[in-house]
Structure 1
Amino acid sequence: MNRPRLLAFMRTSSPVGGVATWLDHFAEDCDKHGIPLTVALVRGQTENDPQRFRRYHPNLHSVVVDGRELTRESRILACQRVIRRVNPTAVLPLGVLDANAATIREKRLRALYLISSAHGNLPPMLADLTDLRTGIDHVVCVGEMTRRFLTQFAEFESHRVSHVPNGARLPIAAWNPPQPDLPIRLGYVGRLTKGDKRVFDIAELCRVLTERRLPFQFTIAGSGPAESELRSKLIPYQHCITWLGAQSSDQIYGDVLPNLDLLLLFSSSETFGIVLAEAMMNGVVPVTSQYVGFHSEGLVVDGEHGRSFLIGDVDQAACIIEELSLNAAERHRLADAGRRHAESEYTWNRCMTGWRQLIEDVHQTAPVAPASELCQSIRHDNGILDRAGVSVEWADRARRLRRWLRQSKHVDGVEWPLFNRDHCPQRLESILNQTQQVEADAACHVC
């Protein structure tokens, strides 16, 4: 067996979050066990900033992949150049779609493993995994729902898909009990996006709680594209809101979670929901939406480790918050049960042991040979170079030269996409229905 040498491609649009937290622990574990890991941080025109990411994650051994002003094919070539320079035995694209194509093309030239880490289960992400099936050596799903979908509906062989849930580290600070007669302490920790995270539900929840005359203090720790609009929506409740911005893991563990009673999550979809495990580990009661993936994973069982509400049902969420604000004994019962659950099932040591074993197992197999159609370049009309029939390689050289000369021009309107945006709506709707079927089956099994 070849000694593993790993290369991970990482988005840098958000310096904190579940994937970034996982990466920190993965890198530490690789270093501890002598597994070389290089992290390729993508750079983009406006959103992806490797230098900002490095400030939050200073211990990563990283290089930069510059995708500014490049087309899809040029971004793929940029990833290929990094693969050739680092010379890994396995590549892990972490939300960098173009790195999948780059790895698959490099597979034609030498033995190389493509290990897909499924940290998302939105329909277009699942469609991408399905399309890449013949080029992927192994898929590691942090959520059980993703594993079930891939084996039941996407024709993945069960031995090529694993479920390795994320973890949460032990507390670094004691939880601070609330002062008598003070408002209940609510919190949101994570990316501020309106699609999958549904953060505008925070404003609706504040409205309902205010109408119910329930005093509360809401701490928001995070950043993202919806931050400005969310701030505007929360102006009427600004006396109840504390904005912290993006926080490091130490800040979340040292300052944020120890001062919360309830942790809120509003997502429509989560592969795992690492912040829920972190909340339970720190004695904070999770109150979460029943996102797609909620029932399959069983991270939080309603009434046992926390409470849950239907996606978008802020009235139900407000009712739960009011009940718990008036019943400290129930809060303490849920908090104690959640802490025991997290300590038993969701530690980083358990997670990383699973990852190490999986990487060893993958390296004992022969790399899969991707289907030929996955290795082909796709030409798009991104300007005069493409219309003139200039080869992909020479067009790439010209665009990088133009960038070096600072004659900037944004080419295709996409900056390191997380997923393919060209899937037909009917297919995405079908995938959504299939994931909901998986969830319904899981919910029935729990009942």
Structure 2
Amino acid sequence: MTNLATAPDEKGFASLNLITPICKAVQEEQYLTPTPIQLKAIPYLLRGRDMMACAQTGTGKTAAFALPILQRLQKTSRAQHKRGIRALVLTPTRELAVQISENFEIYGRHLNFRHLVVYGGVSLNNQIRSIKRGVDILVATPGRLLDLIRQGHLKLHDVELFVLDEADRMMDMGFLPDVKTIESKLHPDRQSMMFSATLPDEIEKLSRQFLKDPVKIVVDPPSSTVEKIDQRLLYVDRENKSALLESVLQDETIERALVFTRTKHGANKVAKSLSKNRIRAEAFHGNKSQAARTQALEKFRSGRARVLVATDVASRGLDVDGITHVINYELPNEPASYVHRIGRTARAGATGIAISFCDAGERFFLRNIQKEIQKELDVIGGHPFPSRISPVRSGKGKNGGPENKEGAPKRTKRNRSAKSNGWKPSRYKGKKNPGNSNRPSRRKP
């Protein structure tokens, strides 16, 4: 693998030698300055190089491969390829597949390419009919693509450009065997690109199998991503989390909130509780049908739902404009998932706030998260449902403080009485902490 790529000296899309129809589409979307991943990747991809790129979602990586693909297809005669698939983008989730397809439609609006997105959970018939009419660019999830191949509805021998997006997520979801099967059906003389938020050994090994003399690009490691987000921590007993969430959401500055739970059942329960309290909320997870997930996402995007309660299926690849807050109702058990979750806010230069609830059983998760991001979350005191659990410190962080033998810092005046740091009391102000009761005292029996 070659050395790390460097960006061109010039700024702006004019420096990338993109053809006029693509530049026009980009300008119409009011994108003026390429992101680091675009500046570094596009020149190499236009020259036909294979690429291994490490970049978080929200860095502009979709355009980093979509724009070069459109340009390279435009410069190749259509007659040579008849109706075969010319570009294939493989991605782990249905939502991400739809978003990538929408990007191809936007950037290629002044070009004459046929593109299609295929994923499971919906009928095959419409997808089969579209394939028979001819498709230039196919965006697919692995399972549905293999179904179509095995049933004889499409072949991949004409694919010129292949993108494996969210490679580490593919690995986490157990899709690598399917990915390898699909790759084996591609023509060896192709241009290939892999994009991944992290580069574990298995992904490095896969890149050596899929790519030929690739250029390697690394942008936006997790620490630089999370530094852009105002990260706050609220200690709370587990039985008071629901009441605290309702209290937090009384803040009118929370215009659009993405709330994360660890389980599908938990997402349903939280969304139902919020709806009962007149907070417009929808649940979003893998047990929902595709139609239900699409409907929930559309309500969230349009503002008809102020809150989307999701499992980690939404933490990667979900691109919704204007998410002002991410709330970790339950902390993830994997530190990397925390980074992906909060990355749904503060996108495209916007500001964002991440609020995490932590109960006694989640202290271990919190410690690992703070170690991963190399900082301690700002503890918010003064909320209506404080907990007596000891704060977690990850050794001597920027806030200092020696740890005791349980791993929590020695109690100091500072961490006993944390300032509110912008906390706005809600209608719970003045009411007693319900302690171990299931609901706050305002609730009717």
* Higher relative contact order structure (alpha carbons within 8 Å, sequence separation ≥ 6): 1
TM-score (norm 1): 0.38
Report the structure number with the largest CA radius of gyration: 2
Question: Which structure's residues are more often helix, by fraction?
Answer: 1
